[in-house]
Structure 1
Amino acid sequence: MGGKYGAIAEGASFRASSRERRSRAAIRRAHTRDASASSDRRPESLPLYPNRSTPRRSGRGWRVKLATISRLAVFAAATATSSWGQSPTAAAQTVVASTAKRAKVPFGAGERMEYDVKFGALRVGNAHMEVVALDNLRGRPAWHTAFWVQGGNFLYRVNDVYESWMDAETLSSLRFVQELEEGGKDVERRFEIYPERAIFIQTSKKPQKEEKSVSQPLDDGSFLYFLRTIPLVVGETYDFDRYFRPDRNPVRIRVLRKERIKVPAGTFDAIVVQPIIKTKGIFSENGRAEVWLSDDERHIMLQLKSRLKFGSLNLYLKSYFQSPNS
């Protein structure tokens, strides 16, 4: 590949908001509770250029755009009991995480990608996605991934966090959490997913009830990581009946072409895919969203573009940190 991954673009140092710091604290507490053998830390990104000021916009259209950025990025990024199962002791967790069979994947704990978010030519925010750790969840080793998107102006801001836990052996989704802060309103959704029973429970909703799922479920956040594990052949179309809400299946992936692109992180050979999901939004067949993945075994998301009625929403990779274990 032609580019050098690393912190080489403007504003590469991520400054956490108070909401993000709270979310990170929650993640770390969960990691302590569901600890694994992995404790690697990524190197810090260094700011090489000053941040540009965020342009001022107003009106309902601006609010819609910012909320849509979050939905867009998370899919790409870039879609039995009333409480979560009790975790075993830390020692038992370490044994499970270190000895259980794992699927071969091109990522590991500590991998992190950081993006500029733009509406047309205007920079409106930041996003980053990260493999937080190899956790233990209900006695299974599970990849814990997280996606943050932040942006807005003095009138309207978005600060969303999406977390996924997927079985390290089957890559099936086990838990999916959304914490959305948009325009001063907070929404939290939590799902416990049970692949062996093909059900899910929305634990943040009352009354809690079992709902039908699929046998190898994926959620919004875990789908892109799954996509990174499969071969992609130009001209092929792949259908997956794996979204954890069955009425939204199949998810279709069209492999469109290969091309060389330039993003803030560098110049890279890329393979371009079009995800299509049963929705009226960005990933509908008329949404024409495209995702650029690195044309190598890692399939890192380099760029994401969508064409909507009110303009284009785009993500551009500005820095990449490889897992210390890769």
Structure 2
Amino acid sequence: MSTRDEPRGFTPVRRPVRILAAVALAALFAAPFGVEGQNGTNGEPARDRDFIVDSLRTVFPPADVPVTLTADDVPEDRFAARAPFGPGEHLVYKVKVGIFGVGEGFMAVVGTDEHEGNPVYRVEMGIQGSLGPAKVDDLYQTWFDVSTLQTWRYVRDIDEIGYQSYRHWEFFPDRMRWERQDNDEAGDLGSALPLDEIAFIYYLRTLPLEVGKSYTLSRYFQEDGNPVTIKVLRKDQRETEGVHYNTIVISPEIQTDGLFGKGGKAEIHVTDDERRIPVYVKSDIPGFPGSLTLHLRSIQDGYPLHPQSRAEAMEGRALRADPTNQR
């Protein structure tokens, strides 16, 4: 069996009709985007089913025990974009269909690296789960710029019953092209500051998310995935694993069928603090038995690179550690 470091190639087996619940929840985040304004517009992007199904697999899985970093391990970078996340952050989720647990997932900022001389975040997401005989063991990796938050490299490694796929994209914004390294496929970039599905999740966390506002997002690396509208609905409270969180509720909208498409209803709850961590996700899909839900199980904090973001993170961490604080 191939390792994660070796391309497994693409096996042209028709994807099973079943949608593993844990996988499906990933699509709640895997919408293309990039902010163009705060008054949302209704575009009509034609996104094919393969993109929808592929992006269903992004947000969860139990990884190896994460490496614990200290502030001294992560130097500040005044040229980095302000962002609430940083190296060392590791989030673990439980995935359910109705009342049934079907898997676990993780999202992790593994560290920083360089790509063609550009400092980048290296981020991983994975999913491991099963629904009856259907099993999933997928890994996603992205390298996105610490200053512009644009993606330079994206790798998707899928291992499921009847379907294996390894895809490796490199992005060349100076030529407005993307190229697959695992085959000869190439195409035009949909944005000069492209984002893949995984980088999108982290970019979303940098937005103001003001209640009542809408954000039109057009930074997905393939043009037919643009635009997406993110509506900020309300403030709320959620309890998961015995912890109560004040949250901001957002609703992504895509002009296609799918979890965020016409006729469906989806909500994402992120923490109403400086972290903007996804705490709870729910999707009601027409014709699908039961809601798909994602529940935060554990948080390992990271260290933001930008000095002001680092200061805000440390202040928030101190407040949450104070037993008299009800935040």
1:247, 1:162 → 2: CA distance? 21
**Structure 1 counterpart of 2:24:** 68
Report the CA distance shift for 1:73/1:313 in structure 2 as closer, same or farther (over 3 A).
farther
Aligned residue among 171, 191, 209 for 1:214: 191
The Cα offsets for residues 170-215 of structure 1, whole Å up to 9 and x where unpaired, read as 001111111111224211121111233322112223x333423311
**Structure 2 counterpart of 1:114:** 92
Structure 1 residue 244 corresponds to structure 2 residue 244: no
Cα RMSD for the two superposed structures: 2.5
* CA positional deviation for 1:264: 1.4
TM-score computed with the length of structure 2 as normaliser: 0.71
Aligned residues: 254
**Structure 2 counterpart of 1:160:** 138
1:219, 1:265 → 2: CA distance? 33
Aligned residue among 252, 257, 262 for 1:275: 252
Contact 1:160–1:180 under 8 Å retained in 2: yes
Structure 1 residue 183 corresponds to structure 2 residue 139: no
Identity %: 33
Structure 1 residue 322 corresponds to structure 2 residue 301: yes
**Structure 2 counterpart of 1:137:** 115
1:176, 1:158 → 2: CA distance? 20
Question: Which runs of 5 or more structure 1 residues have no equivalent in the other structure?
Answer: 1-17, 28-59, 79-96
1:190, 1:231 → 2: CA distance? 32
1:181, 1:175 → 2: CA distance? 20
Structure 1 residue 284 corresponds to structure 2 residue 240: no
Aligned residue among 301, 306, 312 for 2:278: 301
Structure 1 residue 229 corresponds to structure 2 residue 206: yes
Aligned residue among 174, 180, 187 for 1:202: 180
2:264, 2:158 → 1: CA distance? 23
TM-score computed with the length of structure 1 as normaliser: 0.71
Contact 2:21–2:95 under 8 Å retained in 1: no
Aligned residue among 151, 154, 168 for 1:173: 151
Q: Which one-letter code corresponds to 2:112 in the other structure?
A: L
Q: Which one-letter code corresponds to 2:98 in the other structure?
A: G
**Structure 1 counterpart of 2:291:** 312
The Cα offsets for residues 5-39 of structure 1, whole Å up to 9 and x where unpaired, read as xxxxxxxxxxxxx98xx43xx39xxxxxxxxxxxx
Three-state SS of the structure 2 residue aligned to 1:291 is strand
2:124, 2:255 → 1: CA distance? 24
Report the CA distance shift for 1:304/1:252 in structure 2 as closer, same or farther (over 3 A).
same
**Structure 1 counterpart of 2:64:** none
Contact 1:109–1:324 under 8 Å retained in 2: yes
Q: Which one-letter code corresponds to 2:193 in the other structure?
A: Q
Segments of 4+ moved more than 6 angstroms:
97-100
Contact 2:21–2:102 under 8 Å retained in 1: no
Report the CA distance shift for 1:233/1:70 in structure 2 as closer, same or farther (over 3 A).
closer
Structure 1 residue 266 corresponds to structure 2 residue 222: no
Contact 2:23–2:127 under 8 Å retained in 1: no
Report the CA distance shift for 1:66/1:298 in structure 2 as closer, same or farther (over 3 A).
closer
